[in-house]
Structure formats: structure tokens, C-alpha cells
Structure 1
Amino acid sequence: MENKTEEIQEQEKDTGEETEKKPVSKLILLIVVVLIVGIVGGTLGTFIGNKLSDKPHAKQTEHISGKISEEQASIPLDEFLVNLSQDKNGEDSYIKIQLSLLVPAKVGEKEVEKNKDVIRDSVVNTLRKKEATSILEDTKGIETLKTDLKEEINQANSSSLVKEVFITNLVIQ
């Protein structure tokens, strides 16, 4: 009798272990299925989102690239580091700036290379007359600076070589 009781208890233990294994295996299976569905859904969502959002960006790029025509060229100049005029407080300020000049394509490029020193001199002289506050605090400060630079460069070359000045980097300290 004791053997039968022990056998029944062992069978109950075995069936108890099996019932505990079934929920654990179902839980693991559920986690795996949720992960797979999440990964597939995220991948599809990203792919579809990128396809839909690429079309407007292509149109914007075409519109922006139309700023400089085939008959014009943008010529980058070397970096300038110049002392600005002292502020009313008597503080010294410096400007570090990189410029590009918009000129007629073939003739303009040669003229800029030929007159590079004259152009750099006119840029330095123009910048030395400016105060940091007039460039930064005025709402039209940057636009005024661009216009002044264009006029000074053209006056120094005795021509209307430069059509526009682009500021590609600007730091004032």
C-alpha cells in the first residue's frame, strides 16, 4: 500500500511539473510571436513612411538648386579672421567668416582668381569698419553686411563682377 501511495504521489508530482511547463512554454511562445509581429510592423512602417516622405523632399531640392543658374558660378574665398571696430563699451571683437561670391561663370571665375588679393583687401577693410553689435543685434545686420561687401568688392574692381555674396560660416567673438 505504501508503494501505491508513493507511486500516486510521484505521478502527481510528474503531472504537476507538466502543468507548470505548459504555461511557461505558452508564455515564451507568446513573447516570441509579439516580438516578431513588432519587428515586422516596425520595418514595414519605416519603409512605407520613407517612401511617402521622399517625394516632397525631391521637389524641394529641385527648387532650391535653381538659385544658381548655369551662367553663374559660386566662388568660395579663403577664411577671414579680422578685428572688428571697438564697441561703445570699448570691447574688442573678432569675426571669423567664410564667403562665396556669385559671379558670371566663365569670365567671373578668371577675374576673381586674378583679383583675389584686391577682393580680400576690400573684404578686410569693410569688416574692420563694422561693430559686432551692428552685425548681430540689428535685424538686417547680415543683409547689410552682404550688401556692403558686394558694393566694396565691385568698387575695388571697378566693375559689377559680384552679383551676390554668400556667408557660408560666421563666428563673432
Structure 2
Amino acid sequence: MARNRENNVDEEQSVKRGSKGKIIILALLFVLLAAGFGVGGTYIANKYFLNKSSEKSTETQATITSNEKLVSVSKFVVNLSGNTSTDNLTYVRLKISCLVADDDAKTSLKKSMPLVRNSVINVLNTKTANDLLNTSNSISTLKNDIKNEINTEYGTTIVKQVYITDLVIQ
């Protein structure tokens, strides 16, 4: 009888150990399957669904040739138009860099920095906060307006492109 009890206890312990082992094996199997599906899904998404051609086209648009130079213009803090009450004034802080053709144009633009600053202030004074924030191409329009105003005031096309390096509207 004592032997029967010992055998029953041994069988119960082996059953408990066996069920714990099965749970551990199932958990490991689940983790491995989840990792496999994650890696496989990422591979398939990268290979078939992501459009890499659009990434390449944006990289090629921002190239600057070795002859072209950037001229940094110090920060502007300007009142925007639209609000005439002193309680609701809207300000813009802007820092730009201008792309010019070569070293001679860079030197010439640096000598004409008051003209450049005046042109930027004239453009910003005509804008409202909504003009700068509401449309998806408003920043592109602002850059183009600044470039055109500088070139008009200068009398020739000296600025090829305007880059906005800092923009805060408050």
C-alpha cells in the first residue's frame, strides 16, 4: 500500500513536470513564430509596398554644385499683417540662406545685404499668419516670393534659390 502511494505521488509529479514543459515549449514556439512573422512582414513590406523612387527624387533636388555658394542672412523678427490691434500682433522669426551662382555673386550679395534684408521685410509685411500656415505649399510660395523680390530689387537674377533655415510664427 505504501508503494502504491509512492507510485501515485511520483506519477503526479511527473505529470506536473510534463505540463510545465509543454507550456514552456508552446511559449517558445509562439515567440519564434511571432518573430518570424515580424521579420517576414517587414521584408515583404520593404520589397513590395514601399515606394523608394520618391525618396531618391527628393535627394537629387537638393544638390548644390561646387561653383554655387550659400549666403547666410541673419535672423529677422517682423510683424505680420492682418491684425491692427496691439493686443493681437503676430510676429514671424525667420532665418534664410540664399543660393548664388559663384564667389563673385556671393561677394556682391554680401555687399548688398541691406537691400536683401529690406526685400525680405517687404515680403513678410504683406503676409498674414494664415498665408504662411494654411496651405501645403505656403512655405514654397514664401521662398519664391522672397527670391523674386530680392532679384527685382537687385536688378538681375542673383539669387537662384532661398532656403529657410529657421521659421517661428507667434
Q: TM-score, normalised by structure 1?
A: 0.70
| 8 Å CA contact retained: 1:87, 1:131 | no
One-letter code aligned to 1:13: V
Shift of residue 94, structure 1, vs aligned partner? 0.8
Structure 1 residue 92: Cα displacement: 1.9
- CA apart distance, 1:168: 4.3
Long gaps (5+) in structure 1: none
Deviation string, structure 1 residues 91-150 (Cα, Å, up to 9, x no partner) = 3221112323243244433333332333123322442x3252563478686566445423
26, 32, 42: which one pairs with 1:30?
Answer: 26
Contact 2:71–2:110 (Cα < 8 Å) also in 1: no
Match of 1:120 among 103, 106, 117: 117
Q: Is the 8 A contact 2:132 2:142 kept in 1?
A: no
TM-score (normalizing by structure 2): 0.71
Relative to structure 1, the CA distance from residue 34 to residue 147 in structure 2 (aligned partners, 3 Å threshold; closer, same or farther) is closer
Secondary structure, counterpart of 2:156 in structure 1 = coil
1:98 equivalent to 2:92? Answer no
Corresponding residue of 2:156: 159
Give the 3 Å change call, closer, same or farther, for CA 108–51 of structure 1 in structure 2. Answer: farther
Counterpart of 2:74 in 1: which secondary structure? coil
Q: Secondary structure at the match of 1:78?
A: strand
**Greater radius of gyration (CA):** 1
Write out aligned runs for 1:34-113 (5 A).
34-52=30-48, 56-57=51-52, 59-64=53-58, 65-66=60-61, 70=65, 72-85=68-81, 87-89=83-85, 91-113=88-110
Kindly indicate whether the alpha-carbon contact (under 8 Å) linking 1:101 and 1:162 is maintained by their aligned counterparts in 2.
yes
- Deviations 1:23-72 (CA, angstroms, capped at 9, x unpaired): 22122112112222322342343345445567x42x32442323656365
Question: What is the distance in 1 between the residues matched to 2:21 and 2:43?
Answer: 33
Paired amino acid for 2:54: Q
- Counterpart amino acid of residue 57 in structure 2: H
Distance 1:67 1:170 in 2: 19
Comparing 86-95 with 153-162, greater Cα deviation is found at 86-95
Residues matched between the structures, number: 166
Query: Superposition RMSD on alpha carbons, in Å?
Result: 3.4
